[in-house]
Structure 1
Amino acid sequence: MPSEWNSGTIIAGTIGYSSIIDQLAKEGKIDVSVINGTWEAYTSTIASDPMPGVTQALVVAGSDRRGTIYGLYSISEQIGVSPWYWFADSLPQKHDAIYASDVTVVQTSPSVKYRGFFLNDEAPALTGYIDAKYSRGEYGPGYGADFYHSVFELLLRLRANYLWPAQWDSMFNVDDPRNQALADEYGIVMGTSHTEPMMRATKEWGVFGHGPWQWNTNNESIYPFFVEGAERSKPYEGIITMGMRGYGDTALTADNEIAVLENVVAAQTEILARIWGNDSVQNPDIVPQVWCLYNEVQGYYEDGMTVPDWITLLWADDNWGNNRRLPLQNETGRSGGAGVYYHFDSVGAPRAYKWINTIQLQKTWEQMHLAYERQARRIWIVNVGDLKPLELPISHFFDLAYNISLWDKNSVPKWLELWAAREFGQDVAQSTAQLMTNYSMAAGRRKYEVVDPSIYSVLNYNEAESVLQQWKEMQTSAKAIMDSLPVEAQASFFEMIYHPVAAGYVFHDIMISTAKNRLYAQQGRTVANSVAKHVQNQFLEDRKLTEQYNGQLNGKWNHMMDQPHIGYEYWQQPMRQALPALQYIMPSERSLVGDMAVSIQGSNASVPGDDKWHTLSSNTLTMSPFDPYGVGYQWIDVYSVGTNDVDWNITSNASFVHISTTSGRLTRDGAADSRLWVTFDWDACPEGSGFVLLKISSAQNNASQYLSQTQHGTQYPMPQLLLPFTHTRVPESFQNGFVESSGYISIELEHYSETTNNSDVHYEILPGVSRTLSGITLFPVTADSQTTGTGPQLSYKLFTFSNSTPGSVVNITIVTTSSLNIDPARPLRYAIQLDEQDVKTVQHVVDQPKGAKPVGWAQAVVDHAWKSTTKFSYSGAGEHSLKLWALEPGVVFNTAWIDLGGIQPSYLGPPESYRIA
């Protein structure tokens, strides 16, 4: 034995297959009793004198081959090698020396038995990359062993074990004869997607099949096709997809789909029994089989389709990260168990989303925790599209699947920090984690593909400006972090962090600035053309970021960012990127109202003059009411609409109104347009209600065209603004509640005044599971249905100022996450009560027959929320109470909007109202 083996020796082997490991266990130098005979477990320990000539060694013993691999890759990760060292260019951390702690590690079996991903929707990006890097095969792109060996290693380093290979234009077992054998050599369990039965790729039928893909009319051709797939897979570890869908990921068409599918599975079972033996085919540990209840197939199962007990029921989400069904109590004893097919990428209605990461990690935890607790633990497989843009959520998904007990509802920030430390170093771990926590919510609240110029309001609640400012701050932070890294580490950070953040900022800037351009053009603002130019420049910046990504590291990932993402017109991707329509004004033409106009927050109208929002040549706009409990400020825009420079001045008839700027000079190019901020000094403001008058005057730079206070422009009077105000106070006795302003109350529902729990069921806050803050839901998620009499209750104190008249009503909208019914007999419901009025029960998710999505599903998933409105009688100003009950686990409350007539259109709703502690 060489003497140098005494320093840093690692011995690794599998129990029952390594004579060294078996001998060490027999001699009592390592203890394998806990893991022996289990699935994918390992132990590591320091052993003394493990073999002749070695005084001490780190010994890794696996219960099976993957257990041993995971033990070794765990050491690799601890010394600084990321699973993404190839696919995301994460640099291994260098050390002068590496030490093993004298601690015995026992890693038991993973939480989920089979953990994998599906390379899907892989064109144009991944396939473009493949075409550029690998030779095309006889039948299509070069998805061969030269590519897949890196995929197999990545899976193992992520502690996964299962793969559905790319299949749009590929045949895993045909494109490269090395593929399947190499997968088995790595220890990867192979499968095929939900629409590819019996280990045959869809394209194989198109190339080698005969006749239509219709079992009831062409089973004589399909049966041997199935036989060949099963026989080809027998020497290798795999999970066989059962059942049958229509060709190319479509629904089966037949007079009696259930009967046809049951005949299909009977024939498939016959084939497997002939190849493996009848006893083996009914043992899921010997011949694992899965039937994915995707889309319409779920409906067949709900309508009584029989599935043999040994076949794993793979429940599919809705393509948007919402579990549609999970095991019922009477289904948990099936020998085949259950699993989940989840999506980080999708092609289909209501909109394909394929570009970059839009996954809210907190929601992934919530949905997969729900699946695990409901006993869907045998298979978790996630659609990852092109793979590359989704490194972060993929890592999170597999860490949950491997050991979900490590990660609770509060774990995402800590998980992100650990992940960032591994990828980029401890110095930037915390800042990167905070950045991606913010990104997770900002990108997850609405996917890029369903954001257009109309989504975020440029008029109300400063919504669009706030959203864009958040994106800008994230981009600035990402740039600062990247610049702080060594040059050689910046490529990885660019790929996984900076690009999605910067591209997300540019994308939102394009959409929000387009909305501003359209508004400004309709108002005649000269600056509309400059904003249009800015949009065009950002469109080019988007392209620059794409080219920068594709050109990273001398084009290593060329084409990986080729996915079009601007210009969606319907559910499918645009074939070529196109800007949303922009509008232009004639810069050499002077407006009929002169050279200056004024607009206010919350209104499209401008003064002086006419427009479709403001007719009859009125010179007055009325701002939203001011009161001590509102946001505290509103804006006024003063801007150029003409061909001359012009001085302006604004005056108020009330000393308690403050205006950020009271005079200025507009330039003909619009570059000096001003946004003024109006605030009230409530200490100086008189009690009661009233109006403040603001007058805006202007004078042309040309002395011969002086515009007096009474004649603005060519024919319109000077603009003026009315500021209604109400100076009232809530009584000191009102505590721990929310106060009305501007005709509404908005509540983040985690901010309850009081909660009533019981000994078995209680509410817990889910940080970040929301579009704006957090969610609140029942725990445990396996609890029984609740009632308003005995179930946990959330209470909120409210104080309103609005008066009532006979028949007055208040509309209360409850915003919940986009979760779906996972038990058809227990649909998601909540109960709501205002004051002592009758309690009303709301079922906000209403299923439809035959596997169709729930009523209103398409809107809910793009909005990332269900919004349900209930009417109550309104008794008038004063103190009120709002009570909520989640009647089923899985209802995740986000926000409540109590509308007394003042809520204005927006995407996220009004910001949270003033809260008195």
Structure 2
Amino acid sequence: MSVIIQNPLPGIDKAMVIVGSDLRGTIYGLYDISEQAGVSPWWWWADVPVRTQDGVWALSPNATQKHEPRPQGRSEPTGPPASRGMQILKIQDTPSVRYRGFFLNDEQPALTNWINANYPQGKYGPGFNHYFHSRVFELLLRLRANYFWPAQWNSMFNVDDYANQPLADAYGIVMGTSHTEPMTRATKEWSTFGEQYGGNGQWEYDTNNASVDPFFKYGAQRAVPYVANTLFTMAMRGSGDTALSLTQAEAIALLGDVVTKQRKIFGEVFEARNVTEIPQMWCLYSEVQGYYEAGMKVPDDITLLWADDNFGNVRRLPLANETSRTGGAGVYYHVDYVGSPRDYKWINTIQLEKTVEQMQLASARQANRIWMLNVGDLKPLEIPINHSMDLAYNTPQWGYDSVPKWLELWATREFGPEYASNISSIMDTYGMLAARRKYENIDMTVYSVINYNEADAILAQWEQLAQEAQAIYDKLGEDWKPAYYEMILQPVLGGQVVNQIHIGAGKNAHYTEQKRNAANEIFQQVLDAFKMDHKLTQRYHNLLGGKWNHFLDQTHLGYDYWQQPMRNALPPMSYVQDLETSLAGNLGVGIEGSNATVSGDDNYHTLSSEVLTLPPMDPYGPQTRYVDIFARGVLGCNWNINASQPYVHLSQTSGVTGGSNGTDTRIYVSIDWPSAPPAPNSTIVTLLITSSCEGGQWGNYGPPSVLLPVNNTLVPSNFTNGFVESDRHIAIEADHTSYSTSVNEVSYITLPGLGRTNCGVTLSPVLAPTQNTTTGPVLLYNLYTFTPTPITNITLFISPSLNQNGRERTLKYAIAIDDEVPQIRQFVPSSVSTAIFPTGWAGAVVDGVWGQSSGNTTTTSHKAFKVAGAHTLKIWAIEPGVVFQKIIIDMGGVRQSYLGPPESFRIGGSEEIGKAKTNFAGVDVRRWAKGVV
């Protein structure tokens, strides 16, 4: 706490006194005052300027602040700096989580290269010395953290610099070692010094315990002066972050002996201490969780550190009968990872809303003794690090809807209040876009370039975000621009470029199949984006005289398996021969929803039919479809397109394509519904295309035409609220219920911003018991269908959560149409004790949802809509922790895409008839018809 005291000491009339319950508490108080005075925790690590003041005043509780702080995040105003008054009477409660910290991991190439460039090489490896660690420790304390696992790939914290451990103790930092490094000894210590302990040199307790035991003992002995600030990692794993080379039963028996011996060593080394009072933890990471669930136990005073799946989904949390252990429980959580199914270690891809959802679960289930965050290289993960430490310090303060507010407070501190709301919106949107699919997992096939305008909508979202981020950068004072670039602008521009590259490669492949000249233009655009990726990296590395050179060394383009590529590389692309004319003439015609081209033959339409069929149009579907007319020869050609019915409108009816003055043209087709044949009516409208080239001939093929099915459907007036079928499907964002029920204080809540396209829906409270379909709360969605179907596939996109409630309460949901008997679906398969992850997990974490991957059918149910008309879809979450994101009802019309069809038209919603979304984001995509930049 901090307080103003009268006459605290002789000769002092009044003083501001900072009181802590221990060394760290006092330091937290000092740094709190420092932050109020204008010093960000990231003043050094992210170059947030320290705001100068002409005075710093400690205000008494009833005083009125006379001087407003100057606008933060802008150039210095004219005249002297303003004074700053601070909140002094301040009491900070006990932190929600006792041990809060981060782990520097996966530190090659970025952090290691930076260390090598900035600190003297150590005797045994990179220079992770006390000068470096003093910066880390200060950051931890300014973030009100207290626990640290040091880098360990090629480092030895206690050996690389003998001042490291005493410095940590002086700062009050609790030191530990990673989940694979017991008894405060680094992995590299065994490979470097293990031979001095004799034996066979193997890191194997069953065959070499006579050597491993003294290795363990020295770790305890070395920690004697610092035991008050040491948290020991217990048991052991295989060498170098691997499993023991034993069966599960053998490993459980062996590790019981290991823990017994380690506790005996504590008794020998710390004679004056009760072994149960020495902080210890057992990390249930990877295969180790299986040991615990198969029956292995450790003494109750050892903290059980549960782990996520490396992708932010907690695998398991304490059950009711596990919460009374004196050592408690905690969570080891990743915002960076190296491993299968693929690394993610370039830049920030964390959606803060997901972190809140998972850690609120952990807090409610009393996993609050330790929260350890794997942060990779530290930079450029400033935002998720700061957010996680704040969440750990005061978990109740940061609920499910807190992310925009937290981001706004963070932005105010770093850049001032003027643009804080804008920055909050930018980074909240960034979190959704970046987490939708991590950069390393994007390739040219992910986003559809032909269906639902999906790829173009992705490009439009990134373009809008980049423009907003750049606009604020341009307005900031010069001193604030480095920090803004590091934490906001570079991630946004970098994310945009990666998406441009992969979507551009997808368009290049599509255009190559169509033999478009424009394939070559897209090829060049992708090359330009590839160069821009490098320029953004160099810009980052050159900031402030190269202060952060190497921190973006991480490769991120060109993955072909789980491990990082050795060099950034582009996806495969093609050129077409644009000096020759195609066999089907100088012009080609393509359409939305198809890879085919007419005139001519290809693999995607009936040979020599010269006819393509657009996806159907109806009043409740997208307001436009498109037809592309493009060059695939050497001549410029005049063309005309006409519809056989006057109620079909074309955005353009003539033009020139090819040659020096021509351009490819996307023609948008729309319907004047009041003029169309009245409902119910289905008509096929023909679009005829003619060309001036070659005397109106199309090489050796006939002239092309496009068919447009027009279905004028009508929902009866007594259907006033619900979603309407179009194009033989219905798509629904999960939070857009018609209504929902609440039973015995258990209800559904919306998780704002959690998901790939909108929000999540989950049960509350998270400690609710298992629900059933008879008495449990239910989500209801009113539907109106036109297509009777014997089998309809209903797929739910559900957050990739795991069975954190244990094997007896696996994640399930139930589903029913109208009054049928609900069908219960267990979408997260049960894992046998020897399996680390359930079947389908890899696809779920890459996609960001259960239900996306073609091989994962656990969220697809087969239902019948035997009669057209009004229906009600009912969905129950059987367990807390199920997070619904999107519902797709496929009556035979859903086409391939990543995010699914745009949300369907909703009667009683805000849309107008004939104005349904043409893409999932509802954004204008017309400018992206010709490229990616």
Q: 1:557-596 maps to which residues of 2 (within 5 A)?
A: 557-596=548-587
Q: Does 1:611 align with 2:602?
A: yes
Match of 1:296 in 2: 287
Percent sequence identity over aligned pairs: 53
Question: Please, which of 143, 156, 162 is the counterpart of residue 141 of structure 2?
Answer: 156
Match of 2:695 in 1: 706
Q: Does 1:356 align with 2:341?
A: no
Match of 2:357 in 1: 366
Q: Work out the CA distance in 2 between the residues paired with 1:670 and 1:73.
A: 65
Deviations 1:230-277 (A, max 9, x none): 110121111000010000000011251100111111111110111123
Match of 1:12 in 2: none
Q: Is the 8 A contact 1:491 1:553 kept in 2?
A: yes
Q: Is the 8 A contact 1:315 1:338 kept in 2?
A: yes
Question: Please, which of 398, 404, 417 is the counterpart of residue 413 of structure 1?
Answer: 404
Kindly provide the amino acid, as one letter, of the partner of residue 825 in structure 1.
E
Q: Does 1:774 align with 2:732?
A: no
Match of 2:926 in 1: none
Q: Is the 8 A contact 1:639 1:670 kept in 2?
A: no
Q: Does 1:811 align with 2:796?
A: no
Q: Does 1:800 align with 2:790?
A: no
Match of 1:109 in 2: 94
Q: Is the 8 A contact 2:638 2:691 kept in 1?
A: yes
Specify whether residues 164 and 795 from structure 1 end up closer, same or farther in structure 2 by C-alpha distance, changes over 3 A only: same
Kindly provide the amino acid, as one letter, of the partner of residue 259 in structure 2.
V
Question: Please, which of 447, 450, 460 is the counterpart of residue 456 of structure 1?
Answer: 447
Task: Give the SS at the match of 1:513.
Answer: helix
Give ranges in structure 1 of 5+ residues lacking alignment: 1-42
Q: Is the 8 A contact 2:731 2:886 kept in 1?
A: yes
Report deviation, 1:53: 3.5
Q: Work out the CA distance in 2 between the residues paired with 1:419 and 1:793.
A: 37
Kindly provide the amino acid, as one letter, of the partner of residue 20 in structure 2.
G
Structure number with greater CO (CA < 8 Å, separation at least 6) is: 2
Question: Please, which of 203, 210, 216 is the counterpart of residue 220 of structure 1?
Answer: 210
Match of 1:321 in 2: 312
Q: Does 1:270 align with 2:264?
A: yes
Deviations 1:418-461 (A, max 9, x none): 00111111111111110001100000111001000100000111
Q: Work out the CA distance in 2 between the residues paired with 1:684 and 1:579.
A: 49
Q: Work out the CA distance in 1 between the residues paired with 2:625 and 2:194.
A: 68
Q: Is the 8 A contact 1:567 1:574 kept in 2?
A: yes
Kindly provide the amino acid, as one letter, of the partner of residue 57 in structure 1.
A
Q: Does 1:852 align with 2:842?
A: no
Q: Does 1:840 align with 2:823?
A: yes
Task: Give the SS at the match of 1:117.
Answer: strand
Report deviation, 1:98: 2.8
Q: Work out the CA distance in 2 between the residues paired with 1:306 and 1:53.
A: 60
Task: Give the SS at the match of 1:146.
Answer: helix
Q: Work out the CA distance in 1 between the residues paired with 2:601 and 2:57.
A: 78
Task: Give the SS at the match of 1:675.
Answer: strand
Match of 1:14 in 2: none
Q: Work out the CA distance in 2 between the residues paired with 1:405 and 1:269.
A: 36
Match of 1:261 in 2: 255
Specify whether residues 86 and 57 from structure 1 end up closer, same or farther in structure 2 by C-alpha distance, changes over 3 A only: same
Match of 1:251 in 2: 243
Q: 1:223-234 maps to which residues of 2 (within 5 A)?
A: 223-234=213-224
Q: Is the 8 A contact 1:350 1:858 kept in 2?
A: yes
Deviations 1:741-791 (A, max 9, x none): 000000111111111101321111001111110001111101111111111
Task: Give the SS at the match of 2:380.
Answer: helix
Q: Is the 8 A contact 2:633 2:658 kept in 1?
A: no
Match of 1:864 in 2: 848
Q: Work out the CA distance in 1 between the residues paired with 2:402 and 2:444.
A: 35
Q: Work out the CA distance in 1 between the residues paired with 2:506 and 2:497.
A: 14
Deviations 1:461-484 (A, max 9, x none): 100000111011111111111111
Q: Does 1:86 align with 2:79?
A: no
Report deviation, 1:715: 1.5
Q: Work out the CA distance in 2 between the residues paired with 1:669 and 1:514.
A: 25
Kindly provide the amino acid, as one letter, of the partner of residue 695 in structure 2.
Y
Q: Is the 8 A contact 2:285 2:306 kept in 1?
A: yes
Match of 1:15 in 2: none
Q: Work out the CA distance in 1 between the residues paired with 2:653 and 2:340.
A: 51
Task: Give the SS at the match of 2:58.
Answer: coil
Task: Give the SS at the match of 2:56.
Answer: coil
Q: Work out the CA distance in 1 between the residues paired with 2:904 and 2:10.
A: 74
Q: Is the 8 A contact 2:2 2:18 kept in 1?
A: yes
Kindly provide the amino acid, as one letter, of the partner of residue 817 in structure 1.
S
Q: Is the 8 A contact 2:656 2:662 kept in 1?
A: no
Deviations 1:842-885 (A, max 9, x none): 00001322142011000000001011100012212101110011
Kindly provide the amino acid, as one letter, of the partner of residue 439 in structure 1.
Y
Q: Is the 8 A contact 1:191 1:240 kept in 2?
A: yes
Q: Work out the CA distance in 2 between the residues paired with 1:94 and 1:680.
A: 62
Kindly provide the amino acid, as one letter, of the partner of residue 543 in structure 1.
H
Kindly provide the amino acid, as one letter, of the partner of residue 55 in structure 2.
A
Question: Please, which of 529, 532, 537 is the counterpart of residue 528 of structure 2?
Answer: 537
Q: 1:455-604 maps to which residues of 2 (within 5 A)?
A: 455-604=446-595
Match of 2:27 in 1: 69
Q: Does 1:100 align with 2:58?
A: yes
Q: Work out the CA distance in 1 between the residues paired with 2:689 and 2:131.
A: 71
Q: Work out the CA distance in 1 between the residues paired with 2:16 and 2:713.
A: 73
Q: Is the 8 A contact 1:297 1:851 kept in 2?
A: no
Report deviation, 1:278: 8.3
Question: Please, which of 175, 179, 185 is the counterpart of residue 160 of structure 2?
Answer: 175
- CA RMSD across the alignment: 1.1
Q: Is the 8 A contact 2:721 2:907 kept in 1?
A: yes
Specify whether residues 266 and 671 from structure 1 end up closer, same or farther in structure 2 by C-alpha distance, changes over 3 A only: farther
Q: Is the 8 A contact 2:469 2:488 kept in 1?
A: yes
Q: Work out the CA distance in 1 between the residues paired with 2:386 and 2:430.
A: 16
Match of 1:621 in 2: 612
Q: Work out the CA distance in 1 between the residues paired with 2:345 and 2:480.
A: 27
Kindly provide the amino acid, as one letter, of the partner of residue 231 in structure 2.
I
Match of 1:56 in 2: 14
Task: Give the SS at the match of 2:153.
Answer: coil
Q: Is the 8 A contact 1:527 1:670 kept in 2?
A: no
Specify whether residues 788 and 881 from structure 1 end up closer, same or farther in structure 2 by C-alpha distance, changes over 3 A only: same
Kindly provide the amino acid, as one letter, of the partner of residue 838 in structure 2.
P
Match of 1:25 in 2: none
Match of 2:131 in 1: 146
Q: Does 1:676 align with 2:676?
A: no
Task: Give the SS at the match of 2:336.
Answer: coil
Report deviation, 1:716: 1.4
| Matched residues, number | 861
Q: Is the 8 A contact 2:152 2:187 kept in 1?
A: yes
Q: Is the 8 A contact 2:739 2:781 kept in 1?
A: yes
Question: Please, which of 661, 681, 690 is the counterpart of residue 683 of structure 2?
Answer: 690
Task: Give the SS at the match of 1:315.
Answer: strand
Q: Is the 8 A contact 2:636 2:662 kept in 1?
A: no
Q: Is the 8 A contact 1:847 1:853 kept in 2?
A: no
Kindly provide the amino acid, as one letter, of the partner of residue 797 in structure 2.
V
Q: Work out the CA distance in 2 between the residues paired with 1:743 and 1:614.
A: 21
Question: Please, which of 889, 914, 926 is the counterpart of residue 898 of structure 1?
Answer: 889
Match of 2:809 in 1: 826
Q: 1:124-135 maps to which residues of 2 (within 5 A)?
A: 124-135=109-120
Q: Work out the CA distance in 1 between the residues paired with 2:835 and 2:658.
A: 61
Match of 1:17 in 2: none
Kindly provide the amino acid, as one letter, of the partner of residue 361 in structure 1.
L
Task: Give the SS at the match of 1:62.
Answer: coil
Q: Work out the CA distance in 1 between the residues paired with 2:272 and 2:793.
A: 62
Kindly provide the amino acid, as one letter, of the partner of residue 818 in structure 1.
P
Task: Give the SS at the match of 2:675.
Answer: coil
Q: Is the 8 A contact 2:150 2:177 kept in 1?
A: yes
Q: 1:618-767 maps to which residues of 2 (within 5 A)?
A: 618-668=609-659, 672-687=663-678, 688-700=681-693, 705-707=694-696, 712-767=697-752
Q: Does 1:343 align with 2:337?
A: no
Kindly provide the amino acid, as one letter, of the partner of residue 234 in structure 2.
M
